[in-house]
Amino acid sequence: MFRLRGVKTDRDFWSLTALLGTMAAWGVNFAVVKYALAHLGVGAFLFIRFAALPPMAFALLVIVFRRRIRYTWPGRADLPRFVACGLIGHTAHIAIVMYGMNLSTAFSSSLVLTSGPLFTLIILAALGAERLRARQIAGTLVAFAGIVVFLADKFDRGHLSAGLGDLTLLAAAFLFSLYTVLARPLADRYGPLIVLAYTLLFGAPPLVLFNLPAFLAAPSGALTAAMWVALFFTVVVSSFLGWLGWAWVNSVRGLARCAPFQYLTPPIAGVVAWLTLGEVFTPLKVAGAAVTMTGIAWAQFGGGHPPPKEAAQPDSA
């Protein structure tokens, strides 16, 4: 049977396929979200997203587990981690991402959020799951220098709000890395569907309640056919299937092997934004993006193969 190089089992093949599909969906999603935010606003979009995701997750949970549904409830020892993942990964992270993207551009948002692996390395090092090597530290510094250059182009051209949006997205990137680190052991023990369903159970209600007035105040003509297509893609494909896929591939392949694939999202987001939204890329902006991604890659690969402790450490993902 033909196999891709480095792919040893069918599980490896399907996890790689799911990982590439997730990165492609997330890359396209930046332009889709920008379109939705422009027509609905941040509050209405957040309401629709988090009003739809929990019922979808629990409907699938019932289909999969049927009469065993009561056994999916998190154990007492894990319940605080589920709550923390819900509040960090959904309530805080997604809200900050949406407000940051509303100020920034699709490509800029994707690039800044790609700094997540840097924060993942720092968190793993702080937990003692991985020791940062000199090349990883140097790569981290280079990546942040590239982000500074990238932001300087916006501030230099007077795009203050876009620059502030990118700074906001840096905080969101840290929160996503923290969520990934906290959720990994839960995905190993419970599976990605249970993790998604119960983190949404704890993380979605605050956003639904807070953004209900914004949804009710949204323009009545905003939900066009094109908007429904956009909402289906961003809520069902990118959010629901994407988060399920991300949790599963991290459990199968490990954080260190999955994180580098996030570098695929900015090129995809940039091309899609150029084709659909007419985004313009200045030489300084491209240079800053190149330096940032080089630094992220250097930091990610500079340490060589991840030590066995990273794979075995329960809190390492």
Q: What is the pLDDT of residues 277-306, one digit of tens each?
A: 888 777 766 776 677 667 666 665 655 544
Q: What is the pLDDT of residues 226-278, one digit of tens each?
A: 999 999 999 999 989 988 888 788 778 776 667 667 777 888 888 888 888 88
With 50 as the cut, is the pLDDT of residue 60 above it? yes
The DSSP code sequence of 145-184 is HHHHHHHHHHHHTT-HHHHHHHHHHHHHHHHHHHHHHHHH
Residue 93 confidence class, pLDDT cut points 50, 70, 90: very high
pLDDT of 285 reads 66
- Between residues 267 and 84, the one the model is more confident about: 84
Whose tokens are 């889709």? That residue is 32
Alpha helices, DSSP H, located in 191-282: 192-216, 225-231, 242-253, 255-258, 265-276
pLDDT of 105 reads 83
Residue 9 confidence class, pLDDT cut points 50, 70, 90: low
pLDDT of 315 reads 31
What is this structure's pTM?
0.77
Residue 90: both structure tokens together: 């959904």
Helix (H, G, I), strand (E, B) or coil at 1: coil
Rounded percentage of the chain residues whose pLDDT exceeds 90 = 37
Q: What is the mean pLDDT of residues 112-133?
A: 72
What are φ and ψ of residue 315, in 5° steps? -95, 15
Domains of the chain, residue spans: 29-316
pLDDT of 312 reads 31
With 90 as the cut, is the pLDDT of residue 50 above it? yes
Give the single-character DSSP code of 89: I
